[in-house]
Structure 1
Amino acid sequence: MSLLGRLFRSQAMVAYTQAMGLYNKGRFSEAIPHFEEALQQLQDSSHPYGELARFYRVEALVRSGLAKEIQGDPSGAESDLREAVKTPTTFPDYHFHLGRLLARRNDFEGALIRLSEALRLNPRYDEALGWLALVLWKMDRVEEAFAELAKLDEGSTDLAIGRPENPRAEDVPSWFEQFETRLNHFRDSANQTQAALIAYAEGEKDQALQHFLGAVEKHPTYPDLRCRLSILLQENGRYGEAIEHLNKSLEINPRYVEAYLQKGITYLRWNSPDQALPPLSEVLRLEPHYQDAVLLKALACIRIYRVKEARQLLNGYLEWLPGEPRAQYLLAGCLALTRNMGSAREVLEQSARHFSLVAALTDLGWWHLRDRKNADALEIARRGLQNHPGDERLRLLEGMAQLGLGTAEAARGILDELANAARREVARIAVQAIVTLDLKEGRIENGLQILESAKARFPSSFQMTYLRGLLLEEEGELETAEQSYHSAASFLSTDPRLLRDLGCVQIRLGKIEEGLKCWADAYLIDPFAFPSAILGDVALVEEL
């Protein structure tokens, strides 16, 4: 559910994100208060994204429960996990974790119920089979315990090694004692996963990849490990290998929703949007209200010019979650691509009105700027600043609107201030605007000094090359701008704004397929980088 994290910006999600960051680094005691804060916020919230709140609440409960178990608070862990499984879910791990904990606490009847549910959701869940067999043996249901043990494949797991053939043999009790010890230590893959997550958080992706490869080699029947591994492989451009692991995950658990979702994302990244559609459709068959799957399927449809189908998906989504900003962005893009510019603006206006989102307000304002409706852009900026005082993006919009209205002195005051903005994109655009203004006013030396200062602020070649591309695009030198953007991409190919701007230039040059590919890549990195507002610049796109 990695993409969901970009949408939910409430106070609850700030706490949740902090908690996950601590949890992934093994700082469980510090994570627990943040989880509890997130849970309290989500329980009390009347936020319209009910499905997202449900997911995050359950996920936070499970993570909090696991953290409490590790910290030696089994009662607190059981309370959180019991609350988590009250919500219907297709994730077998939630039931497994509770069943395993109950077994350790000698609540065998409760453990039996939860482990059976985990196996209903994933019949090839070896660890759940092992714990179920152990629970049945402790309940003196020896024949049933052996029936479960028989389902374990000795070729794929070391849990079944040395199991006795005769349930009445003398060595059965001692074997089950050893079996329980193996079960309690079997989750060493979790330690490797933990090490991988820590390495990933610290930017050591190669090391994280090796940890996951080791975990999968040791436990090849764990679909979750293969799914996590596939995400790292796809980020390293190893798409074919990622698909292989996802297919294996789905052989093990045909109802593994996350694996279908990641398969769709991998095909989108692999420039195979047509192949992304079947797995994304399967996600929606299993989970009809899975937000990311709807949005990604719409994106895949846009990539293969099925804009009508994308609009139908997004319109249906917005009937369910009115004003949801990611869907609004994609829908505005669809409308603009089919030259329904008025409707596209209306969609963004609704998003800005209902949620007062800075992203929607600035997008709408920039659209007005491109239409030379500078007074409207200024009104939007000032309206937004009432709710978000001091926001650099809205201040930039205000400065650019002043510039468009010809009030150069007021514009320069704002832009000079923003040349040192905390947001690099804001600073880049402010520098570009100041230099452009200096060129128009003949203040060449001042413009050169500003560019020299920009080198200190943006020391990397990427930043300066990108800035050069922005300046060239502003001057209408599209081919040279494209070259500059490509040069910038050679330093950092995953910057969503760069991909967005490169896509716009390519479409303006008539390279429609290449431009749409850049936009799709930008969306996968950051949903709010999808260029709904700047599509007004590309009316040359034919009806799709």
Structure 2
Amino acid sequence: MKTMSVQESMDRARTSFRMGDYAQAEALVLGVLEKKKRLPEVHNFLGTVYGRMGDQARAVRQFKKAIQLRPKYAEAYNNLGVTLKNMQRSGGAEAAFRKALSLAPGRANIHYNLGNVFKAAGKDSEAVEEFLRAQELDPTFVPTYNNLGTSYERLDRLPEAVAVYRKGLAADFNQPTLHYNLGVALKKTGLLAEAQGEFTQALRVRPGWTEALNNLGVVLQLQGRAQEALRAFLQVLRAQPDNAQAFNNVGVAYAQLGRAAEATQAYREALRLDPAYYQAVANLAALLESEKRYGEALEELERLTALDPGNPQARFRLAACYFALDRFDEARKLLEQVVKEVPRHLEALRLLARIARKTGRPGEAKKYYARLVEADPGRDDVHLDLAEAAREGGDLEGAEQELRAFLVRHPEDLTARFQLGELHQQRGRFKHAAEIFKGVLEKDPRHAEAHRSLARSYRKLGEPEKAIAVLEQAMAVEGSREEAAGLDSLRDTLDLYEDTVAEYAPSHRREWDSNLRRLAASSRGPAPEEEEKPDEAEEFGLAEAGRLARLPEDEVPIIQIGGQEPVLSVREEEERLDLSALEEAPAGSVELRDETPPSLMNLLEGQRLYEENPNWKDFQLPPGMGAAAAGGQPSFGGVPPSVRPGGQPAAAGLGAM
């Protein structure tokens, strides 16, 4: 059998390398080195083979052997730098790249690799300089645009990041990672519709990319398009049924659609997959609180503080739940700890003042309000608390002054306007109160308390027909709500309705009888004695009696149970949809991995052994994919959000380079 020449052996080794058969490539190169031990190009190539096989130590030995044989071998220094960086030996990698640049200063890929070393070390300004130099030397080297853009993002230079991504897409429009990272940057700048377009384009080029689907869902959710966001999140779950972050984001979407039961189920599934998923716990607790299911919320908040005992915000939320359950001593102890650690924790000071009021210590409440105003002199909502405190103390004039002081700055605030209406009602100014309640309902037709208070004003004004009409409107609205809080509110409205009808129907019965007697006397003389009939209120029930007194038979309103669900207010914790989402760890961009640099060697006829950065387009999942995210905050992408939020989605964050 004819023995292969060195050229033939290396040709076959290159082919095996390109096919991914690294063991065959190694065998062929070792065969060459048995015959020709002092070929630096062959040692350099063998180092590359070992690098692909994951044997970094043997790769380093081969690159050093190549350098020993050819001290000014720039390619071997470059490859040595890449390998040392992969071994987390950043100092040695930087030295190797600097040596390579001293031998070949015009090589764009070496500047790019040195930039990645700086970026990994957190030296983003130095990284930017190297990426810009690489871009200047080779404007067609697209990976530079990506990593330059992510460096700008880390430096909070978002306009420059956006410009760089767009420039990269001008060079290669079908690069999905650039579309993805541009979408993240646009989301950070608040350009949600444009961000949506970039994630959509990334998915056209790379269908089924779960992180792009997730972030698309987050920007849709942030635009109030919860149904479309839900579809995107469900696509993520179809591809990754054990993705806890996706379940969290599905829960956020359901919550925004008012589908509380399904939201609860989604959050619990996220926690089954990852019991330590902080954001899902926070979102579930927020949902339960919004439904006034404080007992269940308490369990979740206790879990939240156990997951992060040093988090003062988690302890504040637990204290707020204790407050809602009238467990004031436990709430106060937690809040005192919070303000000791964070003296300017405004919400904790405010809640401490409310606890002092509830427990009959107005002097202590006044001190906390004074601290609150001192910590934030521009905090207007203190006027609302002071108004409530004055009202509790019987100082109705003082309460009105506080409310008006707040409304000067916030004339459209419905909470303050409603409280002012209640104050007028308490002072006997029923007509004025009714006008205010009507104004509140014009802005928010679903304001159940405003409906009931308006009905009470009408009753006091002697206009029960209007009171009944208002309460029937309230029942039609509240009957479409299926969450627990909505059903409790409906019961309150029904109780008031029955009281109003009970008061209204007998007076009209007497009026009807009197009218009939007068009519009979004027036409035919004395009216015959009428046979006693049972009160219609007894025969038909209180509600029907009121309706029969006023409505034709075919106009009796129907209370709809389970119609269009309302949107729940889900507190969003501040995430890194990083876009979170809809999301926990900080959001950001997916960076490109450092692959073995281009043109590792030129052998004999000068042919490159493999293409420049052959796998640079490969996407590396950000750390934590499938683990806890942060978002009632959805998580943006694959990184656990910050809170990527009760009720906050998690967004995708920075991936590996």
TM-score, normalised via structure 2 length: 0.41
Q: Quick one: higher RCO (CA 8 Å, sep 6+), 1 or 2?
A: 2
Q: Which of 1 and 2 has greater Rg?
A: 2
TM-score, normalised via structure 1 length: 0.49
| Greater helix content | 1
